[in-house]
Amino acid sequence: MNLTAYACIGLTGREISRFELPWQGEAPAKETVRLEGPAVETDRIRYLKETRGVAPGDVTEIALENGVLTISIVPATTRADFTLVVGDQRFGRDDCAIRTRTVDDKFERLEEGRVLYRLYTPEGSGKRPMILFLHGGGNGGYEGERDNEKHIITDYGPVNFAENYPDIYVMAPMAVEARRDMSKMSMNRRFADSDANDVPGYGWSRDYIALVLDIIRRMVAEGKVDEKRIYVTGMSMGGAGTIRAMSVGSDLFAACVPVCPTMTPETFSILKSIRRPVWVTSAYIDHTLYRHKYLVDAVMALRDSGNNNAHLTLFSPEELEKYDIAITPDLPYPRLFSENHASWVPTYKNEYGIMSWLLNQTLDD
């Protein structure tokens, strides 16, 4: 039986909002249809159900038309496994094809040399602005496993840029990462040792960023991209990549937004010397416990040196809760800090006008 799941990129990354499958006979009763599994059986979802009466995975509507059964649900993540139960039938994740809005039809899969990337191209004619998005750690590929998809469906980011700002290019390259245990990267590491996870030739290394920027320069030369309105942003490892890109391509970018950037002696040194407009964001505290201290120091150094277009936002617990981040009561500190890491959500949802500010910067400023 052919089962299709339709998804968008929501606040938790790719989220399914409805299923469609061929169906004979009468539509099943709503109470016989449900979503099960790790995708919907979490403390957070149970808390939402208890406090709001509705939570991700809940069935909202069932419709049968022309032999096709449509099951609409409160959008639920695809990060974890799930099972769709329809009466006495059970469909696992591997039984369905997932179609993702905007990703499937508007982000072209491209490869140039070592660089694998996805590109959204606006319909407007003439030179257009561009956002370069650099994904976070664990969202890229490994040697021989480059699927050119995970990095744009995992988090709220480039797909949403294309939907919210359809007049600009959105470029989302994929970094090849070294295999490592992400859960052990930052919690207990000293700042002085924080670059120990940087493996030469992997992640957002200077040489790889240079290759990415060569592609952008080619698009500028071809008259596609407006050379005065090129922007870079990214989160976590990609936030560090954003800072590094401002060093590798200091002549290229009008402005940057590093989000919860990995702070190492190298990225700290670059950040406090950036002369272009920069707006750094992070949570009040997250899984890298020293992160905000160095962000504050760097932005203060920029302001002291005369960069009056340098900004810092540290989102409070209340501001994160507005987007259902870290809302489960009495979270153990490691989980709280981990959930707080999603500060890219309010950033890219344009809190404080951050994205509006970014897209209004030009190299003439």
Identify the helix (H) or strand (E) that includes residue 240.
Answer: helix 237-248
pLDDT digits (tens, 9 = 90+) for 35-78: 999 999 999 999 999 999 999 999 999 999 999 999 999 999 99
pLDDT above 70 for 188: no
- Residue ranges covered by each domain of the chain: 3-100, 104-359
- CATH fold of 3-100 reads Immunoglobulin-like (2.60.40)
Distance of CA 129 to CAs 115, 166, 346, Å? 21, 11, 22
Q: Once rounded to an integer, what is the mean pLDDT over residues 242-270?
A: 96
pLDDT digits (tens, 9 = 90+) for 136-173: 998 888 777 777 899 999 999 999 999 999 999 999 99
pLDDT above 70 for 182: no
The pLDDT confidence band at residue 176, using thresholds 50, 70 and 90, is: confident
With a CB cutoff of 8 Å and minimum separation 6, the contacts of 76 are 15, 16, 35, 39, 40, 56, 57, 82
pLDDT above 70 for 113: yes
State the average pLDDT for the chain. Answer: 93
The pLDDT confidence band at residue 197, using thresholds 50, 70 and 90, is: low
The pLDDT confidence band at residue 289, using thresholds 50, 70 and 90, is: confident
pLDDT digits (tens, 9 = 90+) for 68-106: 999 999 999 999 999 999 999 999 999 999 999 999 999
pLDDT above 70 for 195: no
CATH class of residue range 104-359: alpha beta
Predicted local confidence at residue 191, as pLDDT:
65
Q: Are 268 and 275 within 8 A, CB to CB?
A: no
Q: pTM for this one?
A: 0.94
pLDDT digits (tens, 9 = 90+) for 18-36: 999 999 999 999 999 999 9
